[in-house]
Amino acid sequence: MPTTSSDATLRDLLRQVPPGVPKCVFVETVDEALSALELSPDAEPERRWVVLRWREPPRIDEAIRLVLGELASVAGAVWPDWFGFSHGSDLPSPDRLIEVAQRTSLSPDWIRHAWKDCQQGRLPLAADYPPVVTMRHLTAAITEDELTIVLAVDSDNPSSVHLDGICRMTQWLAANSPAHCCLLLNTALYGSSELASVDYEPLFWTLASRQVNRHEPNSGGPEENKVRLWPLLGRPHPLSPGEQKLYQTLQADPVLAGQFQFNCPVTTWRGSTYFVDLLADALKIVVEVDGYRHHSNRVAFGIDRQRDYELHTSGYLVLRLPHDEIMQNLEACMEKIRHFLRFRQQHPKQTG
C-alpha cells in the first residue's frame, strides 16, 4: 500500500526509506516539495541530504557518468572535511589514510588520488577506478553518517519525459551505496510504465492545507545551482555563489570581519532548530541569503514566515538578502548588514 504524508512531514516520510531499496516519492509540485525538505526545521542534523535535479533526466547511456559527476561536485564542495580530516588541505599522512581505509573499507589509493584532484581544482573522480568504486567512495566522502540522495525530475508531462535512465540510476545507487535513495516525481507521472521497476509501494506527499492548481505557470527565473547539499556547517556554502561572494567581502571589511559565522544551527524558544546562512551570535543577528529557486513558492513563503516569527520572538534580528541582489549589487547588501549591526549596537534590547 502507498504511504501518504501531508504538510510539513516530508523529511519524516523520506526517513522511512531504508538503504538499499529505491523508492518513488510523488509530490504535487517538485519546487514546493524541495522547499519543504530543505527549509523546514530539522530535528536530525546529523543526516546529510543531497538533491540532484533535472528538467530532462539523463538517458541510460549517460546517467552514470552524469550522476557521478554531480556527486563528485558535492564531494568536492565538502572537501577537505572528508572522513574526519580537519587539518586543512594538505594530504593526510599515510598512517591516517590507512586508519580511515580500515575503518571504512575504502581504498587509501582512491582517497589519495581524489584528494590531489581537489587540490588542483578538479572534480574528485580519481580516474581508472570502476564507476561503482568511485560512487561508493564519493558517498562516503560526502558523509560517513546518514545520507539521503534525492533524484528529482521537475516535469509534469508524461509524454515528454523519459524516465528509464533515471530509474536505472536510482536502482544502481541504492544497490551499491549505503545511501537512502529516492526518486522525487510529480504525481502526474504516477503510473508511467517506465517506473515499474521502482514504484513498488510508492510514497506520496501532499499539502493538505490547500488545493494545488496544476495549471499555474512556472515562474522560471535563474537557478543558483541544480545540485543541493545540506547541512554544511561553519563555512559559506561552496555551491552558493552568493554566500561565497558575501564571505569574501565580509572578510575584507574592517567593521564586519569576524562578526559572522556561516551556516549555523539556531534553536528557537519553540524548540525548533533552523540552519541560518549567517549568524552574529553575540549581537543576535541572522542574515539569510534567499535563492530564487527555493524561496519563490508558497511552501517556502510559509516556512520562511514561521522561521522569521520564531527567530524574532527568540530575540534575533533577521535580514533577508536576495541571492540576485548579492550578485548584482553587493555594496547595497553590505550597507544593509552594516545598518543592522549599528541598529543592534544602538538598541540592544530591541528584537525587530
What are the tens digits of pLDDT across the range 262-286? Answer: 999 999 999 999 999 999 999 999 9
- Please tell me the predicted confidence (pLDDT) of residue 223: 44
In the chain, the percentage of residues whose pLDDT exceeds 70 is: 88
Of 178, 225, 171, nearest in space to 194 by CA: 171
Mean pLDDT of 257-261: 93
Which cell numbers hold the place of 256?
A: 564586519
The DSSP element (H or E) to which 319 belongs, if any, is strand 317-322
pLDDT at 96: 87
Go through the domains of the chain in sequence order and give each one's CATH number: 3-206 (3.40.50), 233-346 (3.40.960.10)
Is the entire prediction scored with pTM above 0.95? no
Average pLDDT for 148-177? 89
Mean of pLDDT values over 227-231: 82
Give the pLDDT score at 296: 63
Taking the CB of residue 95, how many other CB atoms lie within 10 A of it?
8
Contact 240, 231 (CB under 8 A): no
CA angle, residues 319, 325, 331, in degrees to nearest 5: 80
What per-residue confidence (pLDDT) applies to 349? 61
CA angle 144, 234, 107 (to 5 degrees): 25
Contacts (Cβ under 8 Å, ≥6 apart) of 199: 24, 190
